[in-house]
Amino acid sequence: MDLENLKDRNIGEQKYRMLDLEPTPTTGWGKFKRVLRRSVKLELLVGLKVTIREMFKALFMGEMHTVKYPFEKLPISPRYRAIHEMKRLLESGHYRCIGCGLCEKICISDCIRMDTRYDENQRKEVSEYTINFGRCIFCGYCAEVCPELAIVHGGRYETASEQRASFSLFEDMLTPIDKLKEQKEYPGFGAVSPNADENIKPTPLAY
Amino acid sequence: MDGYIIGTVIKAILILAVISALAGFGTYIERKVLAFVQRRLGPMHVGPFGLLQILADGIKLFTKEDFIPSGANRIVFMIAPAITAATAFIALAAVPLLPEFEIFGVTIKPIVSDLNIGLLFVIAMMGVGLYGPLLAGMAQENKWGIIGSARTAIQFLSYEVVTGLSLLAPIMMVGSLSLIDFNEYQAGGIGNWIVWTQPLAFILFLISGFAETNRTPFDLLENEAEVISGYATEYSGMRWGMFFIGEYANMITIGFLAALIFLGGFNPLGFIPGGIAIILKVSFFFFLMLWVRSAWPHIRPDQLMWLCWKVLMPLAVINILVTGIVMMV
């Protein structure tokens, strides 16, 4: 794209309007008239009116802006990307992670480490899973790449802590087994799109 | 005679205590009002409605290190804040704060000294208050301090002219400089207030009062964006606090002066007794200062001088002339 097009691309409507400002007076008499007009029109009182109106709105009409943060919190988007959560299967309660290692592979800040082994049923089991939140940039690639919707982002954005390890162990991120009924699917990165069923095509059998 | 001395000392101490407490309370009110105007809550967490924030600020000011820069002129640096605070309180000596009242069978005049030149004394003391910021800025060896004190000098000196000239017309009408005489002149109710006969003088006095107390449209002395903190740049702890108390005491003084000279003083207002009436009036002027601060931007130094010498002073002189002609005819 050349510069002309870049500047002219689709931003706003470009419907600018000049303020109907009067020209600045140059003669002494003109300046004097302007001062007199502005003084007599009491333009300054307009500002006072606005501030007192806002004050009454805040005090008596419940339009105070302040959110008392630690006690009140603003709602966040369901797609917000904060500390990760590991989901469980609803039927069995087993964690969804199959130990494929895709999240470890795709992580651009190289902060996911996982270790897997075969359990007694010859099924992959996650023995170690940590995310280094000192490095994580919350890009959401791990959630997007996960084939099982196992690792997703949650809404815990208050991450001040004495140790990073407080958040980053597999067990900390995993949905507690007694909260399984409250487990919600994540609508953000990597989630199944609403029209996923329509997009599925039957596998052609004949190649 | 002994009773008079003891009474005066008690009154002086009471005024000092009450007005400095009010100055502290004024900071709280200012923060609250400005917060409400911006639809914030202001101080909330220390005490009920954040009221103990004043106490917390006081503890902070008192326990802060009292710092004197090595290049400063130590003696001048140390006494300059005292000048500001002292002149602000001395000015209140000739201001009748409340109507006379009786306690334990003794009639008490809530004025330290009813001078026959009371108004002149108050204006003079507020003028002497110039030396606080001026000496402070010059003593501290800091360029922002110098600029701040230069601005103090031009602003205070210029606007004292307007204050004096604007008050001259009411003085001519009343024929006395005692503030109690001013109060008695307006004893006949709202219709007798001088503000109706001298509206221009009232507005001029308010404008120059804002300038002399360093309030917002004219807060060039310690404007953070331009001169860091002006004359108070190198000050910390209680020395800075004394500047602050002086400034707030001056605001209260200006409020009392405006109420006494133009708005009927401590005369009873309908069913409201006089003491409550003057407190309401002074509170209104205090609120007006905060209100204006929340609404208006401050002006440039050259506009300040332009306003003073090319607009306000001619208007004040014209006002005096017209008043004189009307009184003669």
pLDDT tens column, A96-114: 888 889 999 999 999 898 9
Domain range annotation of chain B: 69-99+111-328
Q: Sorting pLDDT into bands at 50, 70 and 90, what band is A16?
A: confident
Q: Which residues of B touch A (CB under 8 A)?
A: 33, 36-41, 44, 291-292, 294-296, 311
Interface test with B, best of A36, A44, A51, A54 (most B CBs within 10 A): A51
- Architecture label for domain A84-191: 2-Layer Sandwich (3.30)
Cα angle, residue B165 at apex, residues B81 and B319 outer, rounded to 5°: 150
Chain A residues closer than 8 Å to B33 by CB: 55
Tokens linked to B130: 């110039």
DSSP-derived secondary structure letter, A114: E
Residue scoring higher pLDDT (A76 or A147): A147
Amino acid at A72: E
CB atoms under 10 Å from CB of B300, counted, come to 10
SS3 A124: strand
Residue scoring higher pLDDT (A204 or A137): A137
Give the C-alpha separation, B166 to B150, whole Å.
25
Tokens linked to A65: 């802006």
Q: Do A73 and A67 form a contact (C-beta atoms < 8 A)?
A: yes
Low-confidence ranges of chain B (pLDDT < 50): none
What pLDDT does A90 receive? 87
Tokens linked to B129: 């208050």
Chain B residues closer than 8 Å to A35 by CB: 311
- Using only C-alpha atoms, chain B has a radius of gyration, in whole angstroms, of 20
ipTM for the whole complex: 0.77
Amino acid at A22: E
pTM for this structure?
0.79
Chain A residues closer than 8 Å to B44 by CB: 68
Domain range annotation of chain A: 27-65, 84-191
What pLDDT does B316 receive? 92
B237-to-B65, B203, B255 alpha-carbon distances in Å? 6, 36, 27
Tokens linked to B51: 């009221």
Tokens linked to B42: 């202001």
